[in-house]
Structure 1
Amino acid sequence: MFLLVFLNCFNNSAIGQSEPISEAKTDKLVKQALANFRESNFEKSLIISRVALNAASNIKDPSLISRSYTIIAANYNELGEVDKAIFFYNKSLYYANKTNNDTIKYNLYNNLGNVYCFEKKQFDKGIGYYKKSIAYGLKINDLNQVYFTNVNIAWAYFDINKYDQGDLFLKYINTNNKKYGDKSTDVIVNMLNGMYSSYRKDYEAANEFFLKAIEAGKKTEEKSDLAYAHLEYSKFLNKIDKPREAYKNLTSYNKVTEDLYNEEKLKKASIAGFSLELDEYKRQIDKIENEKVEQYHSLKKSRIIVILFILISLILLFLIITLVKNIRFKKKHNLELLKAKEIAEEASLLKTQFISTISHELRTPLYGVVGITNMLLEEHKELSQSQHLSALKFSARYLLSLVNDILQINKIEENKVVLETLTFNISDEITMIKNSLSFLSQKNNNKINVSIDPNIPEYLIGDKLRLAQILMNLVSNALKFTKDGEVEIIVNLDRIEGKIYFLDFLIKDNGVGIAVVDQGKIFEKFVQVGRKDEDYQGTGLGLSIVKKLLGLFGSTITLVSDIGEGTSFAFIIPFEYDPEKTKNIIEEIEVDLTSNEVFKILIVEDNLINQLVTKKIIEKNNYICKVVDDGFGALRILESEEFDLILMDINMPLMNGFETTKRIRLQGIKTPVVALTAFDKDEITDEAISSGINDIIIKPFEPVKLFKIINYLISEAKNAG
């Protein structure tokens, strides 16, 4: 900025000039000059054009400059100064190309076509200009002007006796005459038809067309067209041997021409034109002088720039030296940062591995605890009222919920959660959530009220599992902190954008509320507000998971709450509504195949308690079941016996489940294999598929889900066989 200001101080010379004429007044002058030209008042037209051109140059308006030059060129063309006309037309074209006004460009190319065809007799060049004019006419969708240019092209071809080529354009003219023709073209169109009829030796039609042309010409102000009509009619009459009538029309041509271009007019116009040329020369001289002044100032600036360049070079040299020192320092610092980054990445990896290992180690005994508890309750109905057994089952499920929450938060932070595309009914999903939380609502004597906007479609497409997880966390939270009250689940249609429906969810309670000072903390991990030592309030991960899951949907959550007034959580999630796509998804859903057949199942499991639990679940469904302790045992028994399905543990000593399955497949055994594991599904899916495992089920599991998978895979295997 300093350099710019410094240099501008040396460029303050200015050329004094009078106040410029406004754009509106200049435009008015241009229109006045054009009106004078059309009245054949060339002197006045040139004088006003000169004033308009100077005004347009002062305000530097390329459109007005171009229009002024066009009128000047047209005047010279009418006065027979063809070369000057071409010079000024080209000047006009130069300024027209600086604008976006395609109408000006259309007119200029049309006028240049007229000059080259009818004055210079360079027809190829002239017709080339005409065709450029038509291109601009089509671009601006001005079909009237396109029609007019076609008239000129036809006339040009007829003028050089190329009637067959001109006939194509004449046909277009005659076809569109009623649509685009007017009084200004009637004279020439009739004249052209007369010329063509004469060429075809249809003399009666030719004579009629010429008479129509002359009659139309007498009614228009454009007397030059009337003159051309008399001239061409004279040629025709001479051709058919009517010399007297031919002479009469030639006399009429001379009279009209004389009226248009009388000597006094031409003299005055010549003087006006000379003054205009002087102005043009003066403009060129002023331009040269201005360039000289600019060169002088430029030279002066150059000296200053050289001095400044030397100073800047010295400053740059100093900066380079400083930069080199900084680079050396940063290089050393970056090595330290890189090392710290590697340590952080290693720590993150260790954290992930630790969480994965801990979750597996916890899920394995939990599977046994939950399974044995269920077995006790089923086999000994008298224990169903036992507080100790209920406490054991509750504690196991609480511990499992904690493990799942920690895994979920870790997966989101590691960007391993991908939203699924499933079709679902929003009313059914919320009803299921309400029913599953009925125990918690009864515990605190709460009511759950549901309100769903009827404008929401029956079936939507999106990740219903993540939505259910969000709602479960928020509604269970509301139920925990509300006693003898109400929890509302309200879903409204916010807006529609194409096939995307934005649903507005509101979870509202009239419980204890959250203080304003605590509202910023509740979405952090392991944070609990208002917890008493004797109360069970969960892990403190629920709201953190909700916030992160909403982030996957591209949404945020808002909170309104106050102590004693209750709490409201609101968020908006977009879902797709596409009946055709929904139909396809529903058709692709795997049908739960039930069977009364007795299947033979092989369990490969090293943990004795888990063996007992899994075997009990399988045999309860009247299936035949055999158990082996490891992979080698599985390979041995498969040599002598056939099974309908294999339940394979993954984490086993000696040989794990992946390697065991690979060896089973290498032996050509196609029996379906289901991984029954405590590992998280996302961690082992790729390796499971590559080893030949057909499906995965995570321990602890719902027996119904296991039997659904068993029935489906066995049915598929039999159909494939």
Structure 2
Amino acid sequence: MSKKHTVFYCLFLFILFTGFAQQDVEVYHKENLNYDEKQLDSVSYVLMEYYNKGTFEKILEQSPALIQNAIKIDAYQLELRFRNILGSTFIKLDDIENANIFFNHALQTAKKKKDSIGVMMMYISLGNTHFKDDKEKALAYFNKGLDFGYNGDRSEDGKFIIHHNLAELYIKKKNLAKAKYHLSKIVDKIDQQEPAVRRKGYAGTTNFIKASIHLMENQPALAIEDALLALKTKDDYDETYLLETYMVLMESYEKLEDFKNVVFYNKLYDSLRAVQYEKDKIEQQQIAKVDLHFDNIEKELRASELENDLINQKATESNLYLIFSIVVGLLLFLILMLLLKEKTKRDKLLKILTQKNAEYLKAKEKSEELARSNTKFLSTISHELRTPLYGIIGLSSLFLKEPKLRPFENDFKSLKFSADYLLALVNDVLHINKFNSKKGQELQEVHFNLSTLLFNIKSSFDFLNEKHNNDVELIIDPKIPEILYGDQTKISQVLMNLMSNASKFTEDGSVKLEVIFNEKKDDHYHLLFRIQDTGRGIQLDQQKAIFEEFTQVKDVNDLEHHGTGLGIPIVNKILFILGSTLELDSTYKVGSTFSFQLSLKEGEAENITQEVASKNIKSLAGKRVLTVDDNKINQLVTQKVLDQIGMLHSTASDGLEAIKMAKSSDFDFILMDINMPVMNGIIATQEIRKFNQNTPIIALTATIFNNPEEEIYCYGFNSIIVKPYRTAHLVEAFLKEL
């Protein structure tokens, strides 16, 4: 049975507890079976505490003697209560057979006693027992509960539960009309439920039912609205409802093609499913553990019945001996049956665990497929954005070098800055996805010049700081070696993000980038990197939020909200890979200081790739270049760059045309785009390598490859240049191949 319906049953069970006064009493021992009615009433609350805490072993151990005690003093209501707690325990342990036996026995007893509330409770319990394994039987029991003729406040609570469960059952059976009918019987009665915790639970589950009905009616927007209302009370109902609510949200957002929210709730679903899977494993272990108590329960209950028979009948010694012999025989037979039953249960348990594992793997595969789809989508979007950005950044860079256009220098700087900023946003989205992957978490350590790296980072924000009238200071502790060894790319990404924020949110102030020597331990230098600004600062209640993805700090006095809210989360992910953490010290309207510590080795200067000397560029003059690109603007940008270097150039618009030109003419270099119509760059390169093994082929593409060795170089490319690029990088690639 689904555990959520056990929750409703327990709430209904407490209805029967009203009218009894709870007293302090010690938990009973098996040796003491002489409780009076008030003491048994208090013990029943102890058993309910065991039930709520999942301490099922104690319930199985103590219930038989308590039932016997209640029978002895003719306390029917308490007997019924103990039998229900025991039956509910069997439901929790997925022992439907024993639960069915106990509830049917209690049902017959309630009918004999003409106890209306007891009869209704048993029908609810039997319906809940078969909710999962036999929906038709569950429907029959719930409807019997409705057909049983009686009235009263407590019976109204029972009818509420029955209509609620029937509505959900008919949703599972795809019977929309009956689901809506039973929903209409409860929507106006939620506020009448007491206490408040029950009211909240009903409100949440009823909103879930509404959302499921809207989804069946193909009204995803309404389904989302009710599902989100259900989540507001998620603390008051269990994980099964929460998982199904996430499923309704995923299906609804998928119908609306809102894949961002599909991914978001899929992550929540996977996370909660993993937790529930672990809980299920623990519960299955507990089931195996408490199986040993089942034998004792049946023995003790049978002993109770036999004792009462013996007292009532006052049998002779011969009859007692005969009955004793029969009991012994029955017990021996029962032991044999229980051994067989235990084997059957263990086989059933193994089958259930295998099935649940298969369901988990299926859900995991679905999640991974969605993640792959998301990665492919991001890759496609980034390529489509980088291609036009290459044209904008390239042309604006060329126009800045054109003397005739000097009067428009500031306009072109603004244009290039905007394009660079858009490119940074594209990179941020890709980095969030990249650093979650195993490949993105690998370190790429190289030898690098610290002062050169920091100067280049500082220079990247010269235009922005000039625009904001900021003074920028770069300080490097003289105790730090000039050459270091570490992941230069990741360190650069961290500093670029932090410098971007400092420059962006500071006006008429100062920005300081400082690297401080802390200590040298073994062969590692422990360094403190600090970025300090006199900008607007961050209010204390918002400082935690900036470390979350897509979160911006909003200032009521600043209507312009900058950025995507990805910078700091990216910094956090990178620093985690580097074995560090980001520290923040900020005062509102005074400024902010971001800092982190890294442990780096001293590097070797001879291992650093040297910058291209300007005098070497002359060796490229007159060299012939074949540019292969289907985008006319990209062709124009590349041609102007080659003209500035003094190189000769020809152009092909697709891979097939490039093969023909490579066969008919000799070229010193080939710049090959990857994604092109007619024939892409990879196939074209493979074909050219069949008749030309010497001409360097450089991949000039807007696509970022996670594994260049397997994705590019294996097809015959010599190197890769990612668009947009700096002219110096292209020149360096030419000189390297030359």
Return 5+ residue gaps in structure 1 as ranges. Answer: 1-309, 715-721
1:711 Cα shift? 2.2
Q: How far apart in 1 are the matches of 2:732 and 2:335?
A: 80
**How far does residue 392 in structure 1 lie from its aligned partner after superposition?**
3.9
1:50-89 equivalence runs, <5 A: none
Contact 2:686 2:715 in 1 (8 A): yes
The partner residue of 2:373 within 338, 341, 350 is 350
Letter in 2 for 1:636: K
1:495 equivalenced with 2:519 (yes/no): yes
Matches of 1:422 and 1:684, distance apart in 2: 18
Kept in 1, the 8 Å contact 2:671–2:700? The answer is yes
Match of 1:485 among 502, 509, 519: 509
Instruction: Confirm or deny: 8 A CA contact 1:372 1:613 kept in the other structure.
Output: yes
Alignment check: 8 A CA contact 1:383 1:389 kept: no
Equivalent in the alignment of 1:577: 602
Report the CA distance between 1:683 and its aligned residue.
5.0
Alignment equivalent of 1:634, drawn from 631, 638, 658: 658
Matched, 1:664 2:688: yes
CA contact (8 A) 2:536 2:588 kept: yes
Q: The residue matched to 1:451 in structure 2 has which SS? A: strand
Q: Distance in 2 between matches of 1:490 and 1:395?
A: 27
- What CA distance in whole angstroms lies between the structure 1 residues aligned with 2:402 and 2:506? 37
Distance change in 2, residues 1:449/1:604 (3 Å): closer
Deviations 1:25-59, CA, capped at 9 Å, x for gaps: xxxxxxxxxxxxxxxxxxxxxxxxxxxxxxxxxxx
438, 454, 460: which one aligns with 1:430? 454
> Is 2:431 the partner of 1:408?
yes
The 1:697/1:325 distance shift into structure 2, 3 A limit, reads: same
- Cα 1:560–1:319 shift into 2, 3 Å: farther
What does residue 115 of structure 1 align with?
A: none
Rounded to whole Å, the distance in 2 between the matches of 1:378 and 1:447 is 26
1:511 partner amino acid: G
Q: 1:552 — aligned with what?
A: 577
| Partner SS, residue 712 of structure 2 | helix
List per-residue Cα deviations over 1:368-411 (Å, max 9, x = no partner).
22233344454573474377655543332222111111122211
Unpaired runs of at least 5, structure 2: 1-331
> Is contact 2:537–2:588 with CA below 8 Å preserved after alignment?
yes
Correspondence 1:611-650 to 2 at 5 A: 611-650=635-674
Q: Is the 8 A contact 1:650 1:657 kept in 2?
A: yes
| Residue 594 (1) aligns with residue 617 (2) | yes
For residue 442 of structure 1, the aligned residue among 452, 466, 478 is: 466
Partner of 1:352, secondary structure, is helix
CA distance in 2, matches of 1:333, 1:640: 64
Question: SS in structure 2 opposite 1:595?
Answer: helix
**TM-score between both structures, scaled by the size of structure 1:** 0.52
What is the CA-CA distance between 1:465 and the residue it aligns to? 2.5
CA contact (8 A) 2:547 2:568 kept: yes
CA contact 1:658–1:687 (8 Å) conserved in 2: no
Residues 624, 431 of structure 1: CA spacing in aligned structure 2 closer, same or farther, 3 A cutoff? closer
CA distance in 1, matches of 2:727, 2:451: 26
SS of 1:356's partner is: helix
Amino acid at match of 2:578: F
The alpha carbon displacement at 1:339 in A equals 1.7
Q: Note if 1:698 corresponds to 2:689.
A: no
Letter in 2 for 1:505: F
Aligned mates of 1:358, 1:634 — CA distance in 2: 27
Tell me the secondary structure at the aligned position of residue 522 of structure 1. Answer: helix
The alpha carbon displacement at 1:496 in A equals 2.4
Residues in 2 aligned to 1:492 and 1:479: alpha-carbon distance in whole angstroms = 21
Once the two structures are overlaid, the 10-residue window that deviates more, 312-321 or 379-388, is 312-321
Overall identity of the aligned pairs, in %: 42
Q: Which deviations, in whole Å up to 9, do the C-alpha atoms of 1:295-321 show, x marking residues without a partner?
A: xxxxxxxxxxxxxxx999999988766
Tell me, in whole angstroms, the C-alpha distance in 1 between the residues paired with 2:340 and 2:582: 54
Going from structure 1 to structure 2, the CA distance change for 1:487 and 1:379 (only over 3 Å counts) comes to closer
Q: Distance in 1 between matches of 2:418 and 2:582?
A: 31
Deviation at 1:501, TM superposition (A): 1.3
Quick one: distance in 1 between partners of 2:485 and 2:698?
29
- Partner secondary structure for residue 540 of structure 1: coil
Amino acid of the residue matched to residue 577 of structure 1? Answer: E
Paired residues of 1:446 and 1:485 also in contact (CA < 8 A): yes
Structure 1: how far apart are the matches of 2:660 and 2:450? 50
Q: Check whether the contact 2:654–2:679 (CA below 8 A) recurs between aligned residues.
A: yes
Q: Which residue of 2 aligns with 1:568?
A: 593
Matches of 1:639 and 1:656 in 2, distance apart? 17
TM-score between the two structures when normalised by the length of structure 2: 0.50
Does the Cα contact within 8 Å between 1:518 and 1:529 map onto a contact in 2? yes
**Deviation of 1:693 (Å):** 0.5
Q: Paired residue for 2:350? A: 327
1:637 is paired with a residue whose SS is helix
Inter-partner Cα distance in structure 2 for 1:376 and 1:591: 23
Q: C-alpha distance in 2, partners of 1:352/1:667?
A: 36
Tell me how large the CA RMSD over aligned residues is. 2.9
Is the contact made by 2:612 and 2:731 (CA closer than 8 Å) also made in structure 1?
Answer: no
Larger Rg: 1
Contact 1:377–1:384 (CA under 8 A) maintained in structure 2 = no
Which letter maps to 1:408?
Answer: H
Q: Which residue of 1 is the match for residue 180 of structure 2?
A: none
State how far apart, in whole Å, the 1-side matches of 2:602 and 2:692 are. Answer: 46
User: How many angstroms apart in 2 are the aligned matches of 1:346 and 1:493?
Assistant: 47
Q: Which residue of 2 aligns with 1:708?
A: 732
Find the counterpart in structure 1 of residue 385 from structure 2: 362
